[in-house]
Every structure is written in structure tokens, then in C-alpha cells.
Structure 1
């Protein structure tokens, strides 16, 4: 595990903080203030922040020198898979565990859990797939 905790992980966390601030505002804003659905609000978050994330992670986090189109395709695939796994798991688990709460509370918590799961899945996908050296 120690070999995975290096400078790229710390840079990934810095980029992640920036993306989290922007993405959280987008996702919870859409869900709570425009009545957007769970999937639309969380999906727009990752669609919009992924553009920023790609460039920051390619050039700053992983300092990837490889072909841009190839890494962009891998990055997009990684984001899609990470998103579907994280949010696909988060919602049913939270709905089950918090079945006595309102749907709005359940889905807000599910989006928060999805963000956490997404971060872990996404980091390893970017490091070992999208921007693999």
C-alpha cells in the first residue's frame, strides 16, 4: 500500500478538492434547487468537472506525456465506469439503510456516499489505466 502513497496521490487530492468544491455545488444545487433527479444531478456534476479534471490530472497530477487522444478516451471510460459503479452502489445501499427517512434525505446522502466511492475508484483508474506510464 505504501508504494501507492506518493506525490501523485497528494496532487490528486489537491485536484480532487478543487473538483469537489465545484462538483458539490453543481450536484447538490441541481438536486435541491431545480428538482433535478439523482442521476441527472450527479451525472452533470461528473460530466462538467471531468473536463477540468482531465487537464489537471494529465498535466499536473500524473504528468502524463503520452498521446492526448488515447489518454482522453481512457480517462472518459474510467470516469464512466467509476461513476456507474460508485453511484450504482451508493443509492441502493443508502436507500436500504435509511429506509425510514425521506427520499430527499436518502438521495442526498447517497450522492455523498457516491462521491466518496467515486474518488477511490477513480484514483486507481486514472493512475493505472488512463494515465498509465
Structure 2
């Protein structure tokens, strides 16, 4: 089971993640810190922009999946939404509680970083075993 989890797809997933992080996180922090958008708008923009990049890179490069299916697209979208709300929904209140004496901008920037980490872990496993897994048929 461990070998099935830690296989070459994880390395490719992390490589795609670097590209995604540059694109999505750049969008998120730019919107939050320079445009003045809210925590939720900025972090969701990250996953809308990054999600588009992620779908194609993970489908064809990471998991080498050639299936043509609207159900797969729907599963991917549902995975992104689920991971987003779990990751960021948990990160913000916990960070706000832990750093309650810090300025809100510090709390929310740290919460966004923690939310990204939670998102990545959940997202990898759901994509690997549920969205792009061709062995599940």
C-alpha cells in the first residue's frame, strides 16, 4: 500500500504543484495584498486559476490519463471545491485563534499558507485514487 501511494505520480504531482503554486499563489497574494480583495475572494481566485492549469497538467502529465469524460471533469471540480473548503475553512479559524494577538493581515496570510498545505495533501490523494484512477473501473 505504501508503494502505491509513494510512486512516480507523487513526484510529477509535486512538479505540477510548483507550477500551480507560482500561478495560483501569485494570483492570490497579488489580489489580497496589492488589489485589496478579501481573504475568500483572493484564495478562491487561486483555485479557479490554478485549477484550470492543474486539471490539464495532472490529467496528461501526472497521471497520464487519456480518458475523455465529463464525469471526470465534474469529479475534478468537486475535488477542488471540497479540498478548498476543507483546507481554507479549517486553516482560517485555527490560525485566527492561534495568532489572535497578531494583525489581521498577518493572520490571514498565514492562514492562506496553511490552507494551501492542507489543500495539497487532500487533493493529491483524491485525484490519485478517485479522479484519475483508471484502475477503479
Q: TM over 0.5, yes or no?
A: yes
Q: 2:27 maps to which residue? A: 26
Q: 1:130 maps to which residue? A: 131
- Could you list the per-position Cα deviations for residues 37-76 of structure 1 after superposition, in whole angstroms to 9, with x for gaps in the alignment? 0000000010011111100000010011223312111100
Structure 2 unmatched ranges of 5 or more: none
Distance across 2 between alignment mates of 1:41 and 1:121: 20
Aligned length: 133
Q: 1:60 maps to which residue? A: 61
Q: 1:91 maps to which residue? A: 92
Distance across 1 between alignment mates of 2:126 and 2:5: 13
Distance across 2 between alignment mates of 1:35 and 1:17: 25
- Could you list the per-position Cα deviations for residues 68-101 of structure 1 after superposition, in whole angstroms to 9, with x for gaps in the alignment? 3121111000000000000000000000000000
Q: 2:72 maps to which residue? A: 71
> Offset of 1:3 from its aligned partner?
2.5
> What RMSD in Å do the two structures reach over aligned CA positions?
0.9
- Could you list the per-position Cα deviations for residues 8-56 of structure 1 after superposition, in whole angstroms to 9, with x for gaps in the alignment? 1100000000000111110011000111000000000100111111000
